[in-house]
Amino acid sequence: MILIRFRLKRALWACAGLLVACLCVALGIFSLRQVARQTAAGVGQTPVPVVLLDAGHGGEDGGAVGLGGVVEKDINLPVTRKLNTFLRVMGFETRLTRSTDTSIHDLTAGTLRERKVSDIHNRFAMIEQLGDNDFFVSIHQNQFPASSSAHGTQVFYSVNHPRSVLLAQAIQKSVVRLLQPTNTRKVKPSGTEIYLLWHSKKPAVLVECGFLSNAGDVEKLQQDSYQNQMAFAIACGVLQYNS
C-alpha cells in the first residue's frame, strides 16, 4: 500500500511538473515576443493576429459518440479552453465561438436541423469578421467505426487560402514532435464535408485530436493532463506558423 501511494504521488508530481514546465516555456516565449514587438514599434510591424478558436459541436449537438459512450463535445470544449489559455500566454489575441456547452444558433431556429444550420452559419459569420492577418482553428475528435486501430491526431486545412496548409503542417509537426512521435498521419485538404473550411477565405484548419473509436485515444483524451499536453502542442504549432 505504501509503495502504491508513493508511485501515485510521484505520478501526480510528474504531471504537475510537466504542466509547470510548459507554462514556463510559454511565458518565456511570450516575454521574447513582447520584447520583439517593443523593438519593432513604429517601423510598420504586423499587428498581433487574432486566433478564432472553435470547440466543435455543443449543446444538443454532441458530435460523435465513441467507445464507452464518450461524447465528442465533452472533449472538444476543455481542449479548446486550454488551448485558449496557452495562446493568450504566448501573446496572441483569441476569440472563442463558444466557451460553454451550448449551441450558438439563432433563437428563431425551430427544428433541430434549423438549429444546426443556424449554428454553423453563425460560426462562419465569426470567421468572416476576421482580419487579413487572423486565422481559424477548430477542435474536433475523429471516429472510424470500421476499425478501432486508427489513432492519432490529423489536421485538415482549407484550400481557399495558401497559408492554411502551412498552419496545418506546423500544428501536425508540433503534435508529432511533442506528443505522438510514432504518428505518421499527413495533413489533408478539406472537402465539402467540413463546411467551415470549405467556405472559409481566411487561413483555417480543423484539428482532429484523436479517434473516439480507438480505446487508447479515448482513454488519453479524457485525461486532463493529456488535454493540457495536446493543447500545448497545438499552441506551439500555431506559434511556429506565426513566427
Residue 149 lies in a domain: yes
Interval 204-226: pLDDT, tens:
999 999 999 999 999 999 999 99
Q: Is residue 34 part of a domain?
A: no
pLDDT at residue 145, as a whole number: 82
What one-character-per-residue DSSP string does 135-148 give? EEEEEEEE--TT-S
Helix (H) or strand (E) holding 170: helix 162-178
11, pLDDT greater than 70: no
Asked whether the predicted pLDDT for residue 37 surpasses 80, the reply is no
Q: Identify each DSSP E strand in the chain by its residue range.
A: 50-55, 93-96, 135-142, 154-157, 188-189, 204-211
What domain range includes position 206? 45-242
Residue 86 in this model has a pLDDT that exceeds 70: yes
Please give the pLDDT value at position 147.
73
17 located within any domain: no
What is the distance between the alpha carbons of residues 8 and 173, in angstroms, rounded to a whole number?
32
pLDDT, tens digit, for every residue of 51-81? 999 999 999 999 999 999 999 999 999 999 9
Residue 198 located in a structural domain:
yes
Give first-to-last CA distance, the chain, whole Å.
50
Number of domains in the chain: 1
pTM of the model: 0.83
Q: Is residue 18 part of a domain?
A: no
SS3 per residue for 190-239: CCCCCHHHHHCCCCEEEEEEEECCCHHHHHHHCCHHHHHHHHHHHHHHHH
Burial of 79 (0-12, 13-18, 19+ CB in 10 A): buried
